[in-house]
Amino acid sequence: MRSKVSLLLPLLLISLLSSYSSFGWGKRGHQMVGEIAFRNLDKTTRDSVKKYLEGTTPEDAATWMDDVRSDPKYGYMAAWHYINIDKGQAYERNNDTNIISGITFAYNQLRQRSKLSREEVKTSLKILFHLLGDLQQPLHTGYKSDRGGNDVNVTFNKATMSLHQVWDEGIIESQNITLENCLDQYRSFSEQQINDIELINYVVWLNQSRTLLPQVYNFKNNTIDDQYVSLNKAVIEQQILCGGIRLCALLERAFRK
C-alpha cells in the first residue's frame, strides 16, 4: 500500500478543467478519474500504460468510450456503460452485456496482452479508464424503470434536464468540482478505508454505488435545490476519487507479472 503522502504529492498541483443518451460524469468527471489513476500508478505500470496508450493522454483515454458512441463500429460497447437492476433487487451474475461484463472483458484482455495487437491492448485500456468512472456514477447502476434517471425530468438552475444529466455534469459544472476537491475527501479517509476502497471486487464496487441511489432520488417537487446540491457535491467528489483509486489498483493488477 502506497503511503498517503506519496499518493497526494503528485496530485496537489493538478487542476482539471457530456440504449442511454447521457454519459457517466461527463467529460470533466471522467478526466479526473483517469488523472487520479494514472498519477498514482507504480512506475512500472505507468510506463506500460503510457507505452500502450501511444500518446493518448489519460484524460482522453477516460473519455474515449463516450467520444465514439456515435460510431457504429463501436456499437457493441453501448450496453457496457451501465447496468439495470430493479429497485429492491440484487445483482446476480449472468451472461448479460453490461458494465460488469465490459470491465471483465477489458481486464482479461490486458492480462493476455502478449497475444493481442498493440491496438487491441490500447482499446482495452481505454475501456477500463472509462468504465471505472461510469461504475462510480450511481445512476449507471440504477433502475430499468426510469433508465437510470434518464426519464426523470427535474428543474435544476432554472432549467429542465434529466436527473441523470444533473449527476453526469450539472452538479460538477455548477459547483466547479476540481481534483483538489476530491483530494480533500481523500484526506478524511483512514488507512483502512483506503485499503477497502482499492480492494478489487467489481460487485462490491457496484453495490457501493447502488447504496447511494436513495440519496440520489431524495428531492421534492422534481426540483434540485441548493441543499440537495450541497449534500451530493461531496458524494460526487468521493465517487470520482474512488474511481481513480480503483482504476489504479485494477491496472496495477492487470500489468503485474
> Does the residue 63 lie in any domain?
yes
Q: Which of 56, 67, 74 is nearest to 125 (CA)?
A: 56
Length of the chain: 257
Joined together, the cell numbers standing for residue 69 give 458512441
Residue 21 clears pLDDT 60, i.e. is over it: no
> Does the residue 87 lie in any domain?
no
> Does the residue 88 lie in any domain?
no
| pLDDT tens readout for residues 48-64 | 999 999 999 999 999 99
- First-last CA distance in the chain: 18
Q: Which of 98, 24, 15 is nearest to 62 (CA)?
A: 24
Please say whether the beta carbons of 113 and 105 come within 8 A: no
Question: CA distances (Å), 118 to each of 46, 49, 59, 123, 221, in order?
Answer: 16, 11, 20, 9, 51
Query: pLDDT grade, residue 23 (50/70/90)?
Result: low
Query: pLDDT grade, residue 91 (50/70/90)?
Result: very high
Q: What pLDDT does residue 159 have?
A: 96
> Does the residue 8 lie in any domain?
yes
> Does the residue 21 lie in any domain?
yes
Residue 4 clears pLDDT 80, i.e. is over it: no
Rounded Cα–Cα distance for residues 210 and 100 (Å):
14
Q: What pLDDT does residue 25 have?
A: 84
> Does the residue 12 lie in any domain?
yes
| CATH code for the domain of 119 | 1.10.575.10
Instruction: List, edge to edge, every strand of the sheet that includes 159-162.
Output: 159-162, 153-156, 223-224
Characterize 60-97 residue by residue with b for buried, 16 or more Cβ atoms within 10 angstroms of its Cβ, and e for exposed: bbbbbbbeebeeeebeebebbbbbbbeeeeeeeeeeee
Q: What pLDDT does residue 184 have?
A: 81
Phi, psi of 97 (to 5 degrees): -90, 120
Q: What pLDDT does residue 257 have?
A: 75
> Does the residue 86 lie in any domain?
no
Residue 11 clears pLDDT 50, i.e. is over it: no
Q: What pLDDT does residue 57 have?
A: 96
Residue 3 clears pLDDT 90, i.e. is over it: no
| pLDDT tens readout for residues 67-81 | 999 999 999 999 999
| pLDDT tens readout for residues 198-223 | 999 999 999 999 999 999 999 999 99
Q: What pLDDT does residue 187 have?
A: 82
3-state percent helix, strand, coil for the chain, nearest multiple of 5: 65, 5, 35
Q: Structural domain tally of the chain?
A: 1
Element (H, E) at 252: helix 226-254
Phi, psi of 140 (to 5 degrees): -85, 0
Phi, psi of 160 (to 5 degrees): -95, 130
> Does the residue 120 lie in any domain?
yes
The two most distant CA atoms of the chain are separated, in Å, by 55
Instruction: Give the percent of the chain with pLDDT over 70.
Output: 91
129: amino acid identity, one letter? F
| pLDDT tens readout for residues 145-203 | 999 999 999 999 999 999 999 999 999 999 999 998 888 888 888 889 999 999 999 99
Q: Which domain holds residue 166?
A: 4-81+93-254
